[in-house]
Structure 1
Amino acid sequence: MRPHAGPAEAEVVTVAGVGSLVSEASARESFDFSNFRVGEVRGWRRSFCQSNWVNVASGGVSLESNEVAALAMVPAADYVSHVALLDVAPSELPGFYEREAGYRILWVSFSVKGQDGSVIEEGQALMCAACDDDAEADRLWAPDGEMARRCEDQSYVREWMSRALRPMWPAPQADMPLRPCDCAGTAQSVEARLSPPISLEELPRRLVPGLPLYPAPGYLRDCAQAHEAAGLLQHLLDSTCLSDRRTTLTDYLAANPGLDEYIRVRVPSS
């Protein structure tokens, strides 16, 4: 695992937002920050590769087709990904770690460019990356693990991990079908087959065996609208891959026009 090291005695720590953290409003639900801007990280790209129980509890998923995935960053040589950058006081970092339970959080280099393409800022940022497997996630987020030690509320982390869908980090599945189900349909038909929010007691424990992992439609819509507000929607679609680490969101949505329509429908912000 890459060493977890970063700026010592920093007045603020920069966090790289790649999924829901691209939404300023969503980020402020967990911690305070300043200086929201867009930057770049090299050698990483987004992938819908984490099965996420929070998506299931919140609704907007299809359990029958494993459409429950959230985003994480995965290694991609020489790839440049645009991310949100947020400056966080060290006292606020426990809220960030608690929000991102289950991920491998590491330091990456970032840059910010001016309108002429020149680099106007460089530094190190904390970013959520995919774990290699569930064993790594369990080790990092155990009570004495590297990630959990950075949280003030260990009880929350233990509860979060105990509710995790398994496998939380399934291995990429080759020859992944472009359509997760038989319904291409319209935005309305996509919404009709999605699950409503459910209680924690009703949460499933496992993915459907043998099926690939697909993006959770409700979470995908939230991410798309957050990236649109940040001017990053087309980048999200063209650069993000599915859990196979190859198929782009652009190709996935082209094969699922109803889902493409669904994620572009504006929903009121809370």
Structure 2
Amino acid sequence: MAVYSVLDDASALASLPGDVDGYISICGYGSLLSEKSARSTFPNLINFRTARLTGFRRLFSFVGAFFFTHGIANLKTQEIAALSVEPYEDETFITTVFDIKKTEIPAFIQREREYRFLAVVPESLDGKPFTNPAVICASYTDEEFFKFKCCEGKETYFQHYGEYNVHKIWRDDVLPCRVYLRHCVLAAKSLGDEVYNNFLDHAFIADRKTTIRQYFETIGTGIMEEEPPESLKTRYGG
């Protein structure tokens, strides 16, 4: 069973106790499996480590504007999705955990504004629960996002997507962005075979049925042979 509490605002995040005074812990389960990528977003992070989280599953169900502005979204094939997580009793996956200064919380919230923030308690890979909770970015619905978090309204918000005719953020009919998926897989692989196989078998496309390993065996062929564009080689290089 997923055990978590909802963090409504910056003060709720800031109130979380940390392993280091003045810091909070963040879970990374996709691009943030890579410490190099995490440092491109959080250059002053400390204590990067791996952990296990029970009661959640990873889904490629979030359509992020970042992929469009950087030219790596493919609207024709609908390969436009990034990862999120949602509570799900029968799943366990390996995550990274790292600590950021509490002064970075407002910037973190702005970067991840489409997500619901939850406080969770991971455990070490040998099964010992963490002393303090960590923040994880979880799935919303469009209705919840525009009701509780998006003050500017739908019309203004979707201007981020320009001419791409995207009118829904959280979807169950999209496929992983190829460059992003490749990066996530390489990042998992860099952490060892256990993390790599856990990602392949415990991350799902938006249908909630097809694992990434199964996806690579069917319509996701060739993704690992593709290079990211020059502008993203560091951030999405694995």
Task: Give SS of 1:168's match.
Answer: coil
2-structure distance, mates of 1:33, 1:229: 19
Other-structure match for 2:29: 18
Q: 1:140 to 1:30 in 2, by over 3 A?
A: farther
Task: Give SS of 1:55's match.
Answer: helix
Q: 1:118 to 1:252 in 2, by over 3 A?
A: closer
CA contact (8 A) 1:43 1:76 kept: yes
Offset at residue 55 of structure 1 (A): 1.0
CA contact (8 A) 1:51 1:166 kept: no
1:1-270 counterparts in 2 under 5 A? 2-4=5-7, 8=16, 10=18, 11=21, 12-31=23-42, 32-113=44-125, 117-119=126-128, 121-131=130-140, 133-143=141-151, 162-163=159-160, 165-170=166-171, 172=172, 212-231=173-192, 232-256=195-219, 258-262=221-225, 269=234
CA contact (8 A) 2:28 2:96 kept: yes
Task: Give SS of 1:29's match.
Answer: helix
Task: Give SS of 1:163's match.
Answer: helix
Percent of aligned pairs sharing the same letter:
26
Offset at residue 77 of structure 1 (A): 0.4
Q: Aligned-residue CA RMSD in angstroms?
A: 2.9
Q: 1:123 to 1:46 in 2, by over 3 A?
A: same
2-structure distance, mates of 1:257, 1:47: 15
**Matched positions, count:** 213
Q: 1:126 to 1:66 in 2, by over 3 A?
A: same
> Which amino acid in 2 is paired with 1:40?
R
Offset at residue 74 of structure 1 (A): 1.6
Q: 1:120 to 1:76 in 2, by over 3 A?
A: closer
Calculate the TM-score normalised by the size of structure 1. 0.70
2-structure distance, mates of 1:263, 1:16: 27
> Which amino acid in 2 is paired with 1:137?
F
Q: Deviations over 1:163-209 (max 9, x none)?
A: 15321012x3xxxxxxxxxxxxxxxxxxxxxxxxxxxxxxxxxxxxx
Q: Deviations over 1:26-45 (max 9, x none)?
A: 22223221000000111001
Offset at residue 85 of structure 1 (A): 0.2
Calculate the TM-score normalised by the size of structure 2. 0.78
Q: 1:122 to 1:139 in 2, by over 3 A?
A: same
2-structure distance, mates of 1:140, 1:85: 27
2-structure distance, mates of 1:263, 1:41: 30
Offset at residue 73 of structure 1 (A): 0.4
1-structure distance, mates of 2:51, 2:150: 32
> Which amino acid in 2 is paired with 1:53?
A
> Which amino acid in 2 is paired with 1:235?
N
Give 5+ residue unaligned stretches, structure 1.
Answer: 145-157, 173-211
Task: Give SS of 1:226's match.
Answer: helix
2-structure distance, mates of 1:261, 1:89: 34
Task: Give SS of 1:71's match.
Answer: strand
Task: Give SS of 2:91's match.
Answer: strand
Q: 1:246 to 1:143 in 2, by over 3 A?
A: same
Task: Give SS of 1:96's match.
Answer: helix
Give 5+ residue unaligned stretches, structure 2.
Answer: none
Q: 1:29 to 1:118 in 2, by over 3 A?
A: closer
Task: Give SS of 1:166's match.
Answer: coil
